[in-house]
Amino acid sequence: MKQIIIEGNHLLSGTIKIGGAKNSAVALIPAAILAKGDLKIKNVPNISDKDALIEILDLLNVKAVEYQNELLINTSNIKNALISEQLSNRLRASYYFMGALLGRFKKVEIYFPGGCNIGSRPIDLHLKGFEALGATINKEGSKYIIEAKELKGTEIYLDFASVGATINLLLAAVLARGKTIINNAAREVEIENVAKFLNKMGANIKGAGTERIVINGVRELHGAEISVIPDRIEAGTYIIMGALIGHNLTIDGINPNHLKVVLNKLKEMGVKFKTNKHQVTLTKTNQFKAVNVRTAVYPGFPTDLGQPMSVLLTQATGISQFEETIFENRMGHVPNLQKMGAKIEYERQHATFHGPNKLHGAELTATDLRSGAALVTAGLIAEGTTIINDAEHILRGYERIITKLSDVGAKIKIVDV
Ligand code: EPZ
């Protein structure tokens, strides 16, 4: 098991470079198998989720060569194959091979996906969409066999603006016969990144990034190149750290337009920062105003930053209310923060913070990727040493986090125990 050990209270100064967005990259890699030929994905983050997806490409006889942060993929010898439970289970994004293999081969055999333990995370909206396109779904235990004689375009209404379902249905519809309309589509910027890649392959998608996406099916897709957009969640996490313990800390390589709601909330708390085209620079603020935070689908406050943001709320003067509206079990960080001295009342998806609280180091356990990021954030400002167990969760989504933080002055290391 991996343990992160942090000696708190060291100012962070210098520049942290943001990598490609995990939640884009994990969709772009499966999307590549829809095309015949060579594909290049640039700015791919070096995270364990990426490695898991390359293992699935290998199983499908798809060649993937990594060169620094570029991934060169060739699908000439692709062969459809059952995606094992062990591989399906490694991450939530394995489910994008449902849409991609269904789109390419009209058949996919795969197990229920893995992913962070933040709720039941059903895939009913994905499956209903595939059926609407003409697929039949058979389930044997946790194995899904999804196949279609032909995929025919249709009008789909998503009950919830699901990121995963929107992307999966894009992947299934681009080679379907006729027009597909996805209503109540998710509007996250990662969806635009995937649609841009598919259109560069020769697909015909309009409206990505809005709640209504129109896909006109085409016969075949060809090789293309795409760059993964900057990771707005990684950037937001480091920006929150900068607000708490930065001294002229610059977060570089971001797209501030993707972080407007987060930067606005920090401004509301009294956080001072300078932004330019691709950077935000912060110095820690001594007093934070209490605020209310409610997560929502894009362009609302991102659920993935709710946990790191909670650390900031422990330092705000007064009572802050926090509401998680996307996942039903995303409070794994709260008992850990209480152990560090934070005064928080919580039940189910609501938490009330009574701040400010001086946090002290403790031995903690990461329950999922973003709660792990919150514990690192808390460890950086706590008095004394913080130990975070099950740190593997954090490495799934934060490229070189130990190096990036050490390079700007954090006293942090990772050990195998
Ligand atoms: C994606 O998860 C991200 N993961 C999540 O990031 C992110 O929190 C989430 O979108 C929301 O932005 C990846 O992109 C790999 P959803 P996804 O489908 O696709 C319910 C991180 O930390 N739902 O928008 O699973 C679901 O249970 C991860 O990087 C159904 O009920 O999110 C949840 O309550 C965590 N049925 C809500 O919708 C379905 O068929 C949002 O899910 C699908 C979803």
Residue 221 belongs to a domain with what CATH number? 3.65.10.10
Whole domain around residue 44: which residue ranges? 22-227
Burial 290-313 (b: 16+ CB within 10 A, else e): bbebebebbeebbbbbbbbbbbbb
The pLDDT assigned to 64 comes to: 97
Ligand 1 atom nearest the C-alpha of 23 is 14
Q: Which of 209, 227, 245 is the last residue of a domain?
A: 227
How many Å is the Cα radius of gyration of the chain? 21
Ligand 1 atom nearest the C-alpha of 125 is 40
Q: How confident is the model at residue 314 (pLDDT cuts 50, 70, 90)?
A: very high
Report how far residue 128's alpha carbon sits from residue 371's, in angstroms, rounded to the nearest whole number: 31
What is the distance in A from the centroid of ligand 1 to the CA of 317?
Answer: 32
Does the annotation count 116 as an active-site position? yes
Order of all β-strands in the sheet with 70-74: 63-67, 70-74, 38-42, 225-227
E-only strand ranges, 75-153:
107-111, 136-140, 143-147
Looking at the structure, do residues 349 and 404 belong to the same domain, yes or no?
yes
In the predicted structure, residue 403 carries a pLDDT above the cut 90: yes
In the predicted structure, residue 115 carries a pLDDT above the cut 90: no
Q: How confident is the model at residue 285 (pLDDT cuts 50, 70, 90)?
A: confident
Report how far residue 286's alpha carbon sits from residue 295's, in angstroms, rounded to the nearest whole number: 25
The pLDDT assigned to 286 comes to: 87
Query: What pLDDT digit, counting tens, does each position of 378-392 carry?
Result: 999 999 999 999 999
Looking at the structure, do residues 267 and 405 belong to the same domain, yes or no?
yes
Residue nearest to atom 21 of ligand 1 (CA): 304
C-beta of residue 123 within 8 angstroms of C-beta of residue 95: yes
Query: What pLDDT digit, counting tens, does each position of 48-105 carry?
Result: 999 999 999 999 999 999 999 999 999 999 999 999 999 999 999 999 999 999 999 9
- Computed over every residue of the chain, the mean pLDDT equals 97
What is the distance in A from the centroid of ligand 1 to the CA of 362?
Answer: 31
Q: Which of 227, 245, 264 is the last residue of a domain?
A: 227
C-beta of residue 337 within 8 angstroms of C-beta of residue 343: no
- Give, for ligand 1, the residue of 162, 191, 237, 401 to mutate: max count of ligand atoms closer than 8 Å to Cβ: 162
Query: What pLDDT digit, counting tens, does each position of 227-274 carry?
Result: 999 999 999 999 999 999 999 999 999 999 999 999 999 999 999 999
Looking at the structure, do residues 117 and 253 belong to the same domain, yes or no?
no
207 sits in the region (left: phi over 0; alpha: psi -120 to 50; else beta) called left
Total count of domains within the chain: 2
**Stretch 349-359: mean pLDDT, rounded?**
97
Report how far residue 55's alpha carbon sits from residue 322's, in angstroms, rounded to the nearest whole number: 38
Residue nearest to atom 22 of ligand 1 (CA): 304
Q: Which two tokens stand for residue 61?
A: 């006889």
